[in-house]
Copies of this chain bind each other. A is one copy, B any other.
Amino acid sequence: MEIDLNYTLEEESECFNGGEEKGKGVVDVSVGSGVSSLSSSSSSTASSSIYHELWHACAGPLTSLPKNGSLIVYFPQGHLEQLISSSSSHYHALNLPKFNLPSQIFCRVVDVQLLANKENDEVYAKVDLLPQTALEEGNLERYEHEEGVDVRNCKGRGSGRNFTPHMFCKTLTASDTSSHGGFSVPRRAAENCFPPLDHKQQRPSQEIAAKDLHGVEWKFRHIYRGQPRRHLLTTGWSGFISKKNLVSGDAVLFLRGEDGELRLGIRRANRPRNFHPDSVLGTQDTPLDTLSHLAKAASTKASFMFCTIQVLKCRDTPSEFVVPYEKYKKSIINPVAKGMRFKMSFKMEDTAERRYSGIVIGIGDLDPYRWPNSKWRCLMVRWDEDIVNDYAGRVSPWDIEPSSSVAHLSGPLAPKLKKPRIDLPPTSFKNPVNLEDGSLLEFDQYMRSFKVLQGQESLGFISPHFESCEVQRASHTGFSESARFMKVLQGQEIFPLASSLHGRAEFHLNGATNNNLTYNMLNMHGRLIPPPGSNVNAILGAPLHEHFKLNGGLAFLPYLPNLQGSIVQSNVHFGQRKFSAAMGDGISDIRSPNSHNVQIFPYKLPGTPTVAKDCKENENELQNEMKSSCKLFGFSLDGEIPFQKSPSSGMTVQKFT
């Protein structure tokens, strides 16, 4: 007899989309004696336990959560960093106001809830924190058995070899996700997790039902057929695939509870974030919410504080802004010094643990404007090996274990400085991070060596129009962040002069004819460098006549999607003259780099009243200015500069097509 599940599935899907009758939208599994509001009939503790397991299975092996009741140190800065990197890119750290929050807050964890995003099934945790206002750093009595972090490992991933007998997790194949057929269940998995079939029948089949993290029940037809015989999920499967937006490479997992109840979850492949930029907006928490939330809690001295932690599966976005107090304390007791060598271990996706070593090359604030004197990622480090994750440039003191041997910066690095084997000419200098011997240079050392190589120290390189800025710090970190810029340049001729400076970022751009142009860009808060983890699809310093149609004086303004919505002031030194420009929120769409609509309002000299007043004048002046400057610096511009603009809106940068 064939089982037709189509009708019931139709019902299910309606429920998932907008209905409210079955289950709660958000699963609430309190870690303590919490009641899972999804448990319908069976014992509440058993139900709670299987959800707990399902949640951790979905979260993956890398997830660590603070322990209920433990003392922790909470870093709002890190929290916001995570929120910003995970939420829509409309938010940018630089756009957030300064809230005058303490950079660290001592708290007790009073509740941990395991939740799941209703839109995309992404798991996250909500942690309620109770500030310990009476506690100051250090005068807190040692808490017995203070472990602070509750680590649960999900056993393995990928096909086969699951040591938890009642669970399996399979990475979806192309066949599994195609519209041509169903889901091929691994034999062992079906035998362990699904109810036994009646093998007396010729093609044994049954209906199986499994609830997801939201309590929504999914029904599938489970059949054992084919030659050779195999387990398949057929009817109902394609609906599941499309509703959950699963693609090959994602994984599904099934769990069987003690009572035989089936649960299923999904774990998406590590696709680039913002893959569906609009659908990820459905998250409940925005950086603004969190900030104002915290600010209010702080300003009113509320006894309770709420803090939602989004657990991310992406390895290089650490969610470690809730640090066990003991761990924090240890790192404070043994302060880290510049030049200190250290080790740090990373858990890998495959449950392995890798240890890397490195050296502390500086100590200082990540964001001195908003979070002065913060310990969050205050250590600038250089790794002995290449590391591409978010710990690349900066770590927090509690992340690392100091090594016994303390090296001085001038020691092991000096030899490298003496013989920098850089033989690339500057115009084709594509990747200055990885030098020939695979090592990394201190930034200023690199710069010096570079200048020596160029033999240009007194020539055009530091030309009269170069306004040297107060380099408060020029470190490997800065350099690494510059390298991020460079990574996306795709062969364009540009190299960083200095970056990650407090107050300003300087780029030294290479013109088409090997003449230099100093580009000085800073936003209202004095920082340009995108926050760690963000991708910059920047087009920096494209030669004027090659990539852009020049509609104004500032066609080389970079396209920085991360700055969308922020006000950026750029001061451009062009020849002897200095141009200032304010770039507004005109960058229209992240997903269409070709269609950015940057509005530039040039005002040639300080004091020039307005552009709107009389643009015609400025336009002509700018025209001449441009031409003479270009000539001065060796740009050859064929014919007239196409100088089109609307009279009142300044100028428009358009990509040349």
Which residues of chain A have a CB within 8 Å of any CB of chain B?
Answer: 18, 20-21, 23-26, 28, 30, 32-35, 37, 68-69, 88, 90-91, 95-97, 99, 108, 110-111, 113, 118-119, 128, 130, 278-279, 281-282, 284-286, 288-289, 292-293, 295-297, 300, 302-304, 306, 308, 524, 565, 567, 582, 584-586, 588-589, 591-595, 597, 599, 601, 603, 610-612, 644, 646-649, 652, 654
Contact in complex: A90, B286 (CB < 8 Å)? yes
13 A-B pairs within 8 Å (CB atoms) are namely A26-B595, A28-B597, A37-B597, A111-B646, A118-B589, A284-B565, A284-B585, A288-B288, A289-B585, A296-B567, A303-B601, A304-B584, A306-B585
Decide: A603 near B648, CB < 8 A? Known: A97-B97, A281-B282: no
A99: B residues at CB distance < 8 A:
97
A284: B residues at CB distance < 8 A:
90, 565, 585, 588
A603: B residues at CB distance < 8 A:
303
Contact in complex: B111, A297 (CB < 8 Å)? no
A567: B residues at CB distance < 8 A:
293, 296-297, 302
Contact of A288 among B32, B95, B589 (CB under 8 A): B95
Tell me whether chain A's interface is mostly helix, strand or loop, or mixed.
loop
Task: Given contacts A90-B286, A111-B646, A297-B567, list 6 more A-B pairs with CB under 8 A.
Answer: A18-B591, A88-B281, A110-B611, A110-B612, A286-B288, A288-B288
A392 to B281 Cα, complex, angstroms: 33
A306 to B565 Cα, complex, angstroms: 10
Contact in complex: A130, B610 (CB < 8 Å)? yes
A20: B residues at CB distance < 8 A:
591-595
Contact in complex: A35, B97 (CB < 8 Å)? no
Contact in complex: B303, A110 (CB < 8 Å)? no
Decide: A589 near B26, CB < 8 A? Known: A565-B293, A610-B303: yes
Decide: A24 near B597, CB < 8 A? Known: A97-B292, A648-B69: yes
Tell me the minimal C-beta distance from A51 to chain B in angstroms.
14
Interface centre among A130, A281, A610 (most CB of B within 10 A): A281
Contact in complex: B582, A302 (CB < 8 Å)? yes
Contact in complex: B646, A524 (CB < 8 Å)? no
Contact in complex: B118, A35 (CB < 8 Å)? no
Contact in complex: B308, A128 (CB < 8 Å)? no
Closest to A564 in B: B284
A130: B residues at CB distance < 8 A:
610, 612
A313 to B594 Cα, complex, angstroms: 30
Contact in complex: B649, A111 (CB < 8 Å)? yes
A589: B residues at CB distance < 8 A:
25-26, 118
A584: B residues at CB distance < 8 A:
128, 304, 306
Contact in complex: B292, A96 (CB < 8 Å)? yes
Tell me the minimal C-beta distance from A409 to chain B in angstroms.
38
Contact of A110 among B128, B285, B648 (CB under 8 A): B648
Tell me the minimal C-beta distance from A122 to chain B in angstroms.
14
Contact in complex: A37, B654 (CB < 8 Å)? yes
Contact in complex: A595, B18 (CB < 8 Å)? no
A111 to B646 Cα, complex, angstroms: 9
Decide: A24 near B524, CB < 8 A? Known: A288-B95, A293-B565, A648-B110: no
A585: B residues at CB distance < 8 A:
284-285, 289, 293, 306, 308
A302: B residues at CB distance < 8 A:
567, 582
A649: B residues at CB distance < 8 A:
30, 32, 34, 110-111, 113, 128
Tell me the minimal C-beta distance from A120 to chain B in angstroms.
11
A601: B residues at CB distance < 8 A:
303-304
A140 to B296 Cα, complex, angstroms: 41
Closest to A132 in B: B610
Contact in complex: A292, B95 (CB < 8 Å)? yes
A33: B residues at CB distance < 8 A:
646-647
Interface centre among A286, A295, A595 (most CB of B within 10 A): A595
A624 to B595 Cα, complex, angstroms: 66
A646: B residues at CB distance < 8 A:
30, 32-35, 111
A593: B residues at CB distance < 8 A:
20
Tell me the minimal C-beta distance from A278 to chain B in angstroms.
5
A610: B residues at CB distance < 8 A:
130, 303
A15 to B569 Cα, complex, angstroms: 33
Interface centre among A68, A288, A588, A603 (most CB of B within 10 A): A288
Contact in complex: B306, A25 (CB < 8 Å)? no
A118 to B28 Cα, complex, angstroms: 37
Contact of A282 among B25, B278, B582, B647 (CB under 8 A): B278
A597 to B114 Cα, complex, angstroms: 13
Tell me the minimal C-beta distance from A323 to chain B in angstroms.
20
Contact in complex: A524, B296 (CB < 8 Å)? yes
A297: B residues at CB distance < 8 A:
567
Tell me the minimal C-beta distance from A590 to chain B in angstroms.
10
A68: B residues at CB distance < 8 A:
648
A652 to B96 Cα, complex, angstroms: 33
Closest to A300 in B: B524
Closest to A214 in B: B595
A293: B residues at CB distance < 8 A:
565, 567, 585
Tell me the minimal C-beta distance from A294 to chain B in angstroms.
10
Contact in complex: B592, A25 (CB < 8 Å)? yes
A24: B residues at CB distance < 8 A:
588, 592, 595, 597
Decide: A25 near B304, CB < 8 A? Known: A90-B286, A648-B32: no
A304: B residues at CB distance < 8 A:
582, 584, 601, 611
A107 to B143 Cα, complex, angstroms: 61
